[in-house]
A = this chain, B = another copy of it.
Amino acid sequence: MKLTSKGRYAVMALVDLARFDNINPVSLRDISLRQGISLDYLEQIFSKLRKKEIVQSVRGTQGGYILNKKAKEIKLTNIFDAVDEKVKTVQCKKESKKGCNGKSTKCLTHNLWDELETHINNFFKEKSLEDLVKDNIERRV
């Protein structure tokens, strides 16, 4: 199981953005340089974040992005959801009654993976962008 770059970058970029405390728009170019993420890739990511109303864009010179909500209200879940970084542990379709083995009952381990998925998602539901920014400031001292 591994985390993809898309998810990692999305969070990384938003932490960078959040540190500027929502005063001035932050350009993707700056984030790209500071965090070492390809600008073109960031654009893809922010396009999704904007559509899910996590950030707002400001066009033109001196433009960039600002948070669309309080950092406290943006949870990791929301970010991952926006960029389609989803936790997938079961093989079967969840709605379907069929198991991953094609049989009419769920497989021996279905329940386990379902628990695992919940376990992981709980982590994402708890953490907010604010927590991350704070963590970072503390460690820096």
Contact = CB atoms under 8 A, between A and B. Distances in A.
- Could you say how many copies of this chain the assembly holds? 2
Given A108-B35, A109-B15, A3 B123 contact: no
The number of chain A residues touching the other chain, given as a range, is 35 or more
Contact of A89 (B2, B86, B107): B2
A112 B135 contact: yes
Nearest to A117: B3
A128 to B, nearest CB: 11
A31 to B, nearest CB: 11
Interface in A112-130: 112-113, 115-116, 119-120, 123, 127
A89 to B, nearest CB: 5
A139 interface: yes
A59 interface: no
Contacts of A5: 91
Nearest to A11: B109
A2 B107 contact: no
Interface of A: 1-5, 7-8, 11-12, 15-16, 35-37, 85-89, 91, 100-103, 107-109, 111-113, 115-116, 119-120, 123, 127, 132, 135-136, 139
